[in-house]
């Protein structure tokens, strides 16, 4: 893993009657009515991160040819 490929961690917190999700850079992923909704969206974001990193890795390999 190089410096551009970083693992993003996520966290959810209760904020009043909402649940909010943040990534490890502090960026707001979203605000949700339930903790389950927040966790579901965090899982979606993790999947998107993995797909993005895989795409970038494949592109890098292809460009080295």
Q: What is the pLDDT of residues 8-37, one digit of tens each?
A: 789 999 999 999 999 888 899 999 999 999
Q: Which long-range contacts (CB under 8 A, 24 or more apart) does 30-39 make?
A: 38/12, 39/12
List the beta bridge partners of residue 11. Answer: 22
| The predicted structure's pLDDT at residue 7 | 66
Q: What residue ranges do the domains of the chain occupy?
A: 10-63
Distance CA 55, CA 20 (A): 28
| The predicted structure's pLDDT at residue 2 | 47
pTM greater than 0.75 (yes/no): no
């Amino acid at each position: 893993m190089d410096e551009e490929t970083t693992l993003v961690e996520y966290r959810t917190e209760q904020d009043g009657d909402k649940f909010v999700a943040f990534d490890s850079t502090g960026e707001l992923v979203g605000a949700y009515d339930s903790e389950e909704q927040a966790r579901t969206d965090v899982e979606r974001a993790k999947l998107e991160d993995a797909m993005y990193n895989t795409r970038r890795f494949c592109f890098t390999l292809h460009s080295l040819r």
